[in-house]
Structure 1
């Protein structure tokens, strides 16, 4: 009996050399192109020290739902608020005022307090709110 011999197929090898060459060329391209990028705007940034303390008194106007006005937890009126606020803002470096108001306060009281704060010399007027 004649034996049937199978022909051996050559083993298939996947060459990785061309793939590695392409990866190295891409790597070199991106390395060279990224080092030559220049910023569009030239800036000299100021230096600062972290954690500088500010002994500045925070100015807070509180408006209750009954229409009462408080300046830093001291009850006052809208009439005397302007003079007291001008005095406090003259001593302040930031010229910042925070207005806290009750949810059910009269809207006109808020507008009056905002107007008085701006006329007294406040540069920044913040409105306090509660996050939900």
Structure 2
């Protein structure tokens, strides 16, 4: 298969570049980048989640609240105070009432920080509050 095609024209012989292989390569690269990119939205903070044998994947829109090892709380990649969790969750639920809250806590985080975040989410009106865990398999 030749990448060049000779075309007869009134001005003499010309060379035309065959675009089909170039377009094929562009689509292959596009598919490669789409498949290898990650579309999972993280809490914006690195946490080591505990394992669970019964972990399930969330199938509804969720907002994630991250809790680090030292107890700091993160939403949308920025640190927040415990008092700002409730209004942010309430604003999210106003936009998507069927949504839920996913608490992504580090395995070494304190239990009282996790309980305070869950309480604030429930006070904001969230009925579906879950705790993220990694599947050990």
Q: Which runs of 5+ in 2 are unaligned?
A: 1-58
What are the residue-to-residue correspondences of 1:12-91 with 2, within 5 Å? Answer: 58-91=62-95
Structure holding more strand per residue: 2
Deviations 1:23-55 (A, max 9, x none): xxxxxxxxxxxxxxxxxxxxxxxxxxxxxxx9x
Deviations 1:78-124 (A, max 9, x none): 01111121111111131311011000001100000111111101110
Structure with the greater alpha carbon radius of gyration? 1
Q: SS state of the match for residue 129, structure 1?
A: coil
CA deviation after TM superposition for structure 1 residue 57, in Å = 5.3
**Quick check: 1:95–1:121 contact (8 Å CA) kept in 2?**
no
> Aligned-residue CA RMSD in angstroms?
1.8
Paired residues in the alignment total 78
Q: 1:112 and 1:86 mapped to 2: Cα distance?
A: 16
Q: Which runs of 5+ in 1 are unaligned?
A: 1-53
